[in-house]
Structure 1
Amino acid sequence: MPDRRLIANAVLFQLGWLACVLGGNSYWLAVPLVALLVHFFWTSSWAAEGKLVASVMLAGAALDSFLLQLGVLEFREQDTLIPLWLAVLWALLGTTLNHCLGWTAKPIWRAVILGAIGGPLSYLAGARLADVGLPLGTTSTLVLLGCIWALVMPVLHGFAHLYREQYRMQQLARKHRGDAS
């Protein structure tokens, strides 16, 4: 039987994704924010994953802002940085790396395949639902995003691994200090 927390993590991500894409920068952003809170209070903790979620959000916002500047993406009212809802989507993605998408970390080819296929499909669905333009055309954009995401997912899993190890070492150091007292 699958772990309830993995299922909850996947459901929270999907609900947050839909709210971001369909609601944009509206009161619907409360849904992914609640999903993030539930994640940190029930599925994980800020101490264990806060740095990962923040890093994924910042890296993803930078990547998508770069794609915006290159003319790969086009938002109606944004021309320099991506909209807030898309940055929040990146934070939600960060919550999945150690949980419902953890199985894609090793072997690395799983992350490459998931990125190459899932990344572009997510952008395509999001673009259609959120009225995001793809000025290079659908096929060219999907191929470009597939190549980018084949690299992005392994890098994000690298962040997750690094921060998990840092957290584990901190916990060991705390335990060691407690044992020495």
Structure 2
Amino acid sequence: MAKGSKSLLALNAVLFQLVWFIAVQGNNRYALLALLFLLVVHFMLMKPDRQELRLIVAVPVVGIVADTLIMNAGWIEYHGTHHFIIPIWLCVLWVAFATTLKHSLNWLFKTFWLPPLMGLLVVPFSYWAGIRLSGSQPLIPMERLLLLEGLFWAVLLTLIGHIERKQEQP
């Protein structure tokens, strides 16, 4: 399979969804094992370049810091959290998500208007499902939490899209 083939893009999306489902169950050990599997497959088949490696590091750092701030602000209580930082299973989601940016989610960044729209209107449903499946509890009204998450993701995906379009310019 050639890098960027439809089969690899589908595999990238399926592996992310598999890791997402395992991680939101709240078991850190299984989440880490699933992430390890995803990363081995990703590095063997996708052969990330420097730009992608930067995304795979930077995006999780931004996401983990943001979710930790949201948790410490008292907006949500994540299942399995007993410390200052978000649980490992949620950190795993951020790393897994970053592996999709140059592959199965690359289509999202082809226009300037689609990333904020998806971030605001679609990503909150993933948070809602993750909260339900993980046993986490919003500490503010769910609608407000989802709106705040949507705004965060609209900004994050817009920034990623801007970076992606800039890197593609000659």
- Per the shorter chain, which TM-score range? 0.7 to 0.9
Change (3 A) 1:152 1:28: closer
* Amino acid corresponding to residue 10 of structure 1 in structure 2: A
Residue 110 of structure 2 aligns to a residue whose secondary structure is coil
Partner Cα distance (1:34, 1:46) in 2? 19
Q: Distance in 2 between matches of 1:150 and 1:114?
A: 7
Task: Name the CA distance, whole Å, in 1 between partners of 2:64 and 2:165.
Answer: 21
User: Cα distance 1:138–1:16, how it changes in 2: closer, same or farther (>3 A)?
Assistant: same
User: 1:147, CA displacement in angstroms?
Assistant: 1.6
Partner in structure 2 of residue 112 of structure 1: 116
How far apart are 1:64 and its partner, in Å?
0.3
Cα deviation per residue 1:58-100 (whole Å; 9 max; x = unaligned)? Answer: 1110010011111122124334110111111111111111111
Paired residue total: 165
Q: Which moved more, 1:32-41 or 1:74-83?
A: 74-83
Q: Name the counterpart of 2:101.
A: 97
**1:24 to 2:21 alignment:** no
RMSD: 2.1
Structure 1 equivalent of residue 61 of structure 2: 58
* C-alpha displacement of 1:46: 5.8
1:157 and 2:161 correspond: yes
Could you tell me whether the CA contact under 8 Å between 2:112 and 2:162 is conserved in 1? no
Taking the TM superposition and a 5 Å limit, the aligned residue runs for 1:7-156 are 7-45=10-48, 47-76=50-79, 77-156=81-160
Task: Determine the C-alpha separation between the residues in 2 that align with 1:118 and 1:156.
Answer: 16
The higher radius of gyration belongs to 1
**Greater per-residue helix proportion:** 1
Distance 1:6 1:116 in 2: 24
Q: Percent identity?
A: 33
CA distance in 1, matches of 2:49, 2:55: 9
Instruction: Identify if the C-alpha distance between structure 1 residues 87 and 161 changes in structure 2 by more than 3 Å, giving closer, same or farther.
Output: farther
Contact 2:115–2:157 (Cα < 8 Å) also in 1? yes
TM-score by length of 1: 0.82
CA–CA distance in 1 between the matches of 2:137 and 2:163?
30
- Shift of the alpha carbon at 1:54? 0.8
Give the Cα separation in 2 of the matches to 1:21 and 1:159.
Answer: 29
TM-score, normalised to structure 2, is 0.87
